[in-house]
């Protein structure tokens, strides 16, 4: 018999291995993100940093059928000059984003219709259409202090009281800009980190 008061999550195919590497924190992070979706039950989810869309896919898997999942990434096949400072890790991802993408993880799945891909530098994207409408906002784009700060301030405009904002790579070596901004932000906001992973989150007041 199933236990009472539990939350069940849905995981996509593990054959891709994107978030199930030898680093245990990635597994903890994807599980935590799925649980946030199950608990918050967002109708609109917005993600900064699509890459191969493994997290995007899981947002769609762990939300209701009428949820809309938006994911923002750099334009494909174009020379990219970021507006703000980037880290060495970001520069590697920019090169990868500029190459031809083989396939998103959600392609040809039953939840693909829930997902809308957007393409722009997150620092110059026009978020006005989403102001006050996003229930869950996930920040996993460029990892410099400047970009994480910019993405967060835009998230504030897009969210409303009760919305959840989450950041990836908090406390992770090599992406200290994420931690620097979140620690600064935590002086005036209640922010939580999840043990075993690199996820931080807050609930909008």
**Structure confidence at residue 122 as a pLDDT band (50, 70, 90):** very high
pLDDT of residue 77: 77
pLDDT of residue 92: 83
> What domains can you pick out in the chain, each with its CATH number?
26-203 (3.40.50.150)
5-59 pLDDT tens trace: 777 899 887 766 566 665 778 889 999 999 999 999 999 999 999 988 999 999 9
Strands (E), the chain: 44-48, 68-73, 115-119, 134-139, 159-167, 191-193, 200-203
pLDDT of residue 18: 64
72-113 pLDDT tens trace: 999 887 788 899 999 988 888 787 666 656 689 999 999 999
**Number of neighbours of residue 94 by Cβ within 10 angstroms:** 16
**C-alpha to C-alpha distance for 30 and 26, rounded to whole angstroms:** 6
140-198 pLDDT tens trace: 999 999 999 999 999 999 999 999 999 999 998 777 899 999 999 999 999 999 999 99
| Eight-class DSSP state of 130 | G
Contact 105, 19 (CB under 8 A): no
* Element of type H or E holding 127: none
pLDDT of residue 17: 58
pLDDT of residue 127: 98
pLDDT of residue 22: 56
Q: Is the pTM of this model over 0.85?
A: yes
């Amino acid at each position: 018999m199933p236990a009472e008061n539990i939350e069940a999550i849905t995981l996509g195919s593990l054959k891709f291995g994107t978030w199930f590497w030898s680093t245990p924190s990635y597994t903890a992070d994807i599980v935590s993100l799925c649980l946030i979706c199950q608990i918050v039950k967002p109708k609109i989810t917005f993600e900064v940093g699509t890459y191969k869309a493994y997290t995007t896919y899981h947002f769609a898997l762990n939300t209701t059928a009428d949820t809309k999942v938006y994911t923002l990434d750099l334009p494909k096949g174009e020379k990219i000059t970021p507006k703000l400072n980037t880290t060495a890790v970001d520069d590697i991802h920019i090169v990868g984003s500029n190459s031809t993408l083989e396939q998103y993880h959600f392609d040809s799945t039953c939840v693909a219709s829930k997902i809308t891909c957007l393409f722009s530098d997150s620092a110059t994207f026009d978020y006005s259409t989403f102001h006050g409408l996003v229930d869950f906002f996930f920040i996993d784009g460029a990892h410099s202090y400047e970009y994480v700060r910019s993405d967060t301030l835009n998230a504030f405009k897009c969210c409303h009281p009760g919305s959840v904002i989450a950041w990836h790579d908090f406390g992770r070596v090599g992406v200290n800009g994420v931690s620097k901004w979140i620690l600064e932000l935590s002086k005036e906001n209640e922010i939580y980190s999840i043990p075993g992973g690199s996820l931080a989150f807050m609930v909008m007041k």
